[in-house]
Amino acid sequence: MEERTLDAAPARSVVDAFGQQARKNPGAVAVTDGARVLSYGALDQSSAKLATALRAAGVVPGDAVGIVLPRSADLVVLLLAVLKAGAAYLVLDPHTPDSRRDTILRDAGPRIVITEEPVAAPGSSWTTLAELTARAEHVDATEAIDVGGEDTAYIAYTSGSTGTPKGVVVPHRAVLRLVLGARFLPVGPEDVFLQLAPAAFDASTLEFWGALLNGGRLVVAPAGELRPTDVTALVREEKVTVLWLTAGLFHQVIEAGSRDLTGLRILIAGGDVLSPSHVDKAIEALPSTTVLNGYGPTENTTFTCCAVLDRPVGARSVPIGHAITGTRVYLLDEQGAPVPDGELGQIFAAGLGLAHGYLGAPAATADRFLPDPFSGVPGDRMYATGDLGRRLPDGQIEFAGRNDRQVKIRGFRVEPAEIEAALRTHPEVYDAAVLALPSGTGHSLVAYYACDDTIITAGLRAHLGETLPPYLVPGRFVRLDELPLTANGKVDRDALAGLPLPERGDLSTDYRAPGTPLEAWLAELWADLLQIDRIGVDDDFFEAGGHSLVAVRLTTEISEAHDVDVPTYAFYENPSVAELAALIDGETSIEKEPR
């Protein structure tokens, strides 16, 4: 087993730690968002007034505050204001389907929900950020609430195996353990962090508070999807020194080229298994940059282990390293005993990063947050991650997959059972099973469903899109008369994985072959990226299984091969091979990329 300890934290809460930085250097730049600049003093004052407005709206310590806003400097001010009010923030992506959003809000019961545009919805009290900000202009900031380390800082919802998302309750001390005094993250006032991750995703915890609790500058990326070249250009222009990318985006950024990343001090990748070849490319191209592989579940606050990747990985898997400061990691067998080095065991996490548990779900909490028999401290707990690992001869841990069906897709944790439950609500579907199968972009979800007649893929996507976020909608759908079963009557997932996938899904368009060299090139590119044998020129990219990360990769390839910059919005408006080829040939809505 492995243990790391943490000296006494220099602050009791996120609010306390930020206040120390604001008093130390109020004129230093805290946040930049395009042309907008906020100093530490201005951020401190604005968030204090907004906290007073929240309290005037009825928010009391211990409440949850729902936030449905895009990435912006205003969001940063609001997050800090919520914490200063003694409340916990619950961020939802603005693109979350209404039904899923409402399910989460019913479960969390926030005192107030803050949005960009007015929303007519029952239940919680809804208001816009503009309305709240206007109220804040007419109030004097009141004395800050005393916030402690065990108070809840935020609630993050993850995919649930029962079909219902679970709210992970994360206290202030867990955030402090992540970003203050951590050996894997030696940062200070001279550092610049890029805020790129969705605020609903716990990767943002490192971005927001890694910068602001260490006196650094937080650069807020423009809202919406960014291409790899957009990310790297922003890194160069803003002189970013600390960058955190999910595995899929890391691979694409390294493929796009690393010359704009040479100013980075620290490059962290994680959220899924890293490609050894891409890690080796990054190490070679960025000799002055510390490249890290970060591993950890939301229940242990963003990172549990980190590996410093300072030498080529080669053909072996990329290790997840050692436990970070303030964390204990155990590798245990099925009886709960430590396994010998080199043998497979389940990864258990303990220490200051541990969440309180799942909101309003004591049974689920007791099932995964177990008494820690190794700490020697009564009441200490450890979290059963469900991940498997082994300790290598150098003491690092190697990730070896899951002991259940949970998977990571594009950095998001996915419970296939949640998707299966949603599929079974379709009136024509008898049964369903979802697998994560290897693809050209990591792993992709394939849904197998049993019904009498084939259902058009677009219809299945629309049905799932009513209740699930985009990353939970499978890229491929395969109809079967019935699902194969094992001898004990359970779905035979090994048999499903062995079935050949059809050349094309059941799309709403008939196949039409490419008619020009450009169409042929685009069709081949799509087929390569989507791992489909044949693409017709009228096939819709998203209906055929594409998603935003693949779209970004595709537009990057087009730009490099044809000297044409295809903006993301233009691709979304022309999502077939024929439309895109006409756009490139005609250059009616796009411009030549400057050289």
In this structure, the answer to whether residues 135 and 66 fall within a common structural domain is yes
**Domain of 431: which CATH number?**
3.30.300.30
3-state percent helix, strand, coil for the chain, nearest multiple of 5? 30, 25, 45
Over range 458-468, report the average pLDDT.
87
Cα→Cα distances 366→153, 160, 319, 337, 356, Å: 21, 15, 30, 19, 11
In this structure, the answer to whether residues 568 and 456 fall within a common structural domain is no
pLDDT at 401: 79
Name the least confident of 82-96, 156-170, 475-489: 475-489
Range of the structural domain that residue 326 is part of:
2-391
Q: Tell me which of 547 and 185 has the higher pLDDT.
A: 185
Cα→Cα distances 407→175, 303, 412, 438, 522, Å: 25, 17, 8, 12, 31
279, 317 Cβ separation under 8 angstroms: no
pLDDT at 357: 97
Name the least confident of 76-80, 211-215, 440-444: 440-444
pLDDT at 6: 40
HSE (CB half, 13 Å, CA atoms) of 80? 26
Q: If pLDDT is split at 50, 70 and 90, which confidence band does 441 have?
A: low
Question: Which amino acid appears at position 113 of this protein?
Answer: V
Q: List all residues 6 or more positions away from 566 whose beta carbon is below 8 Å from its beta carbon.
A: 555, 558, 559, 580, 583, 584, 590
Cα-only R_g, the chain: 24
The residue count for the chain: 595
In this structure, the answer to whether residues 374 and 256 fall within a common structural domain is yes
Over range 444-468, report the average pLDDT.
86
Distance CA 545, CA 426 (A): 19
Helix (H, G, I), strand (E, B) or coil at 30: strand
H or E element at residue 44: helix 40-56
Question: Which amino acid appears at position 580 of this protein?
Answer: L
E strands in 392-520: 397-402, 407-409, 412-414, 431-439, 442-450, 476-480
pLDDT at 404: 78
Q: If pLDDT is split at 50, 70 and 90, which confidence band does 505 have?
A: low
H or E element at residue 357: strand 357-358
Q: Tell me which of 545 and 244 has the higher pLDDT.
A: 244
Residue 1 pLDDT exceeds 80: no
Q: Is residue 481 part of a domain?
A: yes
In this structure, the answer to whether residues 223 and 340 fall within a common structural domain is yes
In this structure, the answer to whether residues 309 and 447 fall within a common structural domain is no
Over range 243-260, report the average pLDDT.
88
Distance CA 267, CA 474 (A): 30
In this structure, the answer to whether residues 127 and 55 fall within a common structural domain is yes
In this structure, the answer to whether residues 234 and 326 fall within a common structural domain is yes
Distance CA 9, CA 352 (A): 10
Residue 595 pLDDT exceeds 50: no
Number of domains in the chain: 3
Q: Is residue 595 part of a domain?
A: no
Name the least confident of 383-397, 510-524, 540-554: 540-554
Cα→Cα distances 256→143, 145, 227, 233, 497, Å: 49, 47, 10, 11, 32
Q: If pLDDT is split at 50, 70 and 90, which confidence band does 315 have?
A: low
Query: What's the distance, Cα to Cα, between the start and end of the chain in Å?
Result: 54
pLDDT at 304: 97
Q: Is residue 400 part of a domain?
A: no
In this structure, the answer to whether residues 385 and 444 fall within a common structural domain is no
- Around Cβ 460, how many Cβ atoms within 10 Å? 23
Q: What is the pLDDT of residues 408-423, one digit of tens each?
A: 787 787 878 788 888 8
H or E element at residue 488: none
Q: Tell me which of 248 and 83 has the higher pLDDT.
A: 83
Name the least confident of 58-67, 221-230, 586-595: 586-595
Tell me what the pLDDT averaged over the chain comes to: 88
Over range 186-211, report the average pLDDT.
96
In this structure, the answer to whether residues 319 and 209 fall within a common structural domain is yes
